[in-house]
């Protein structure tokens, strides 16, 4: 199976890399087609920022889709880390699929060695394993990524001890 890469957003003079990045770039990719089919079928679009208790990190829920006859929902969040920001030690109650839109992340779980993830790459959050390192390695540019998860309605995706 060939690897499909979503085109990187083109930075503008004001540094806003997602400006001018149209929806067609996202939906023409395999990830976009899969996400669109899962999220737009009976999904509810919400554009609200969920407060995160981590300085320099914002999380915005872009889509929610209730899973019938369960207390679960499929969720798509956009997360932004300011330049040089690191998340504190935390864990995730469920696995999540992450897609790096812009920037470079460094991530490690448990005793695993750190690994770099660049724009156009994906990684999986592990459920109930300490996320010992997650940071924006660039001191001058933001890190933006999408997280796709299936989670209990109302349950936070990131738990800080």
For 133-151, write each residue's pLDDT tens digit. 999 999 999 999 999 999 9
For 78-126, write each residue's pLDDT tens digit. 999 999 999 999 999 999 999 999 999 999 999 999 999 999 999 999 9
Neighbours of 96 (CB within 10 A): 21
At residue 40, the pLDDT reads 39
Least confident of 22-26, 63-67, 103-107, 116-120: 22-26
At residue 9, the pLDDT reads 47
**Three-state SS sequence of the chain:** CCCCCCCCCCCCCCCCCCCCCCHHHHHCCHHHHHHHHHHCCCCEEEEEEECCCCCCEEEEEEEEEECCCCCEEEEEEEEEECCCCECCCEEECCCEEEEEEECEEEEECCCCCCEEEECCCEEEECECCCECEEEECCCCCCEEEEEEEEEECCCCCCECC
Task: Provide, rounded to the nearest whole percent, the portion of the chain with pLDDT above 70.
Answer: 67
At residue 53, the pLDDT reads 55
Q: What's the length of the chain?
A: 161
Give me the CATH code for the 23-152 domain, please.
2.60.120.10
Its pTM stands at 0.69
């Amino acid at each position: 199976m060939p690897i499909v890469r979503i085109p990187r957003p083109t930075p503008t003079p004001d540094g806003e890399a997602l400006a001018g990045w149209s929806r067609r770039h996202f939906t023409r990719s395999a990830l976009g087609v899969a996400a669109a089919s899962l999220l737009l079928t009976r999904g509810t679009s919400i554009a609200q920022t969920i407060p995160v208790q981590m300085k320099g990190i914002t999380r915005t829920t872009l889509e929610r889709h209730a899973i019938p006859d369960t207390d679960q929902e499929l969720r798509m969040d956009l997360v932004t880390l300011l330049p040089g920001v690191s998340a504190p030690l935390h864990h995730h109650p469920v696995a999540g699929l992450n897609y790096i839109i812009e920037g470079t992340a460094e991530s490690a779980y448990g005793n695993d060695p750190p690994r770099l993830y660049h724009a156009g790459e994906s990684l999986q959050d592990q459920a109930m394993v300490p996320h010992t390192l997650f940071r924006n390695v660039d001191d001058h540019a933001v890190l933006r990524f999408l997280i796709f998860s299936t989670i209990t309605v109302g349950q936070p995706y990131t738990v800080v001890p």
